Amino acid sequence: MSLSLKVAELIKMLPDAQLSGHLVLKEFTGIANLRDARSGDLSFLGNAKYKGQVKDSQASILLLPNDYEGKPKDEQLFFRIKDPSWALAKICESLERKLSPSVAPGIHETAFVEESAQIDSSATIGAFTYVGANSSVGSNCKVSTHCHIGAGTSVGESSILHPGVKLLTRCVVGKRVILNAGVVVGSDGYGFDQSEGMHHKIPHLGKVLIEDDVEIGANTCLDRARFEETKIGKGTKVDNLVQIGHNVKIGKNCLIVAQVGISGSVEMEDEVIVGGQAGFAGHLTVGKGAKIAGQAGITKDVEPGAFLKGNPALPFHLAQRISVLQRKLPDLFNRFAQEKTKD
């Protein structure tokens, strides 16, 4: 990874850091993990299990926790700080601004904007994007190429739509929302009535509401509600390839990892964490602060603060005990067979 940031800028960016060591270099030119870093690179200790790699790291600059007791080598500079991972994120934000080409506000000549749409003068509308009738795009928004903003849809200030995002009709996107490439918001819910041996489509007339400071990962789909709204709460972060069904209500500050499937009308309270590939049956309630392990199958309501694992899901420690016992079953059967032979 080729990049550059001056040491003086780094010191200014992290005023609470305690510095030790000496460095002739005036800037670092790459970021790498502790093991692979070379002279001129910046590295960090974000997980205590890699602590042993610090002493052998060849990185010129190291972001370390305050309690790290080792000493820098010659031509090495330590930044001791409360949270090295947070510090690295701050550095990467600065680098991203430098690396990403700045696009002047305005509407690209190949974009098509309906006359009744309202686009703030500070917003950017990328090439081959469509903005529908009676829709609105707020101040400082960045709408990339090949996006679709349907009729009656609003996008709040400072939100970012990456390439290929599709916002269908009557959706509401809050402030500082990030929709990554390929996100689809407001597609029809999966609803059919069976009559006379055929599946008849049920029209979905509701909307999707995404509150402030939400991020949705690439190729994730959020279905519109049948009548009211599908809702994603403030500060929630959803990973790639997640399916969120119609009328789902997700609370504030939830974390939902890749390939999760959430069936219609699930209500997920605040601060829930869901591991990858977990699945939820419809019309369930998941209580505040619950944790769902990866690949768990949730078929019943989940109590607040619960930690579940397995399919069907069980309390985490019980599921762990069962897993241990399952691994012992072959030996148990062998012993049983040997005892039976003796008889």
Sequence-distant (≥ 6) Cβ neighbours of residue 243 within 8 angstroms: 220, 221, 260, 261, 262
Identify residue 123 by its one-letter amino acid code.
Answer: A
Distance CA(299)–CA(317), nearest Å, equals 18
Which among 290, 299, 295 is positioned nearest to 270, based on CA atoms?
290
- How far lies 102's CA from each of 99, 167, 177, in Å? 9, 24, 19
As a whole number of Å, the CA-based R_g of the chain is 26
Instruction: Give me the phi and psi of 178, to 5 degrees please.
Output: -115, 120
Catalytic option among 108, 146, 246, 283: 246
Please give the biggest Cα pair distance in the chain: 90
Residue with tokens 């579940």: 308
Any residues with CB less than 8 A from the CB of 89 and at least 6 apart, and which? none
283 among known catalytic residues? no
Within 10 angstroms of residue 4's Cβ, the number of other Cβ atoms is 12
In 3D space, the residue among 94, 101, 96 whose CA is nearest the CA of residue 9 turns out to be 94
> Are 213 and 232 within 8 A, CB to CB?
no
Catalytic residues: 246
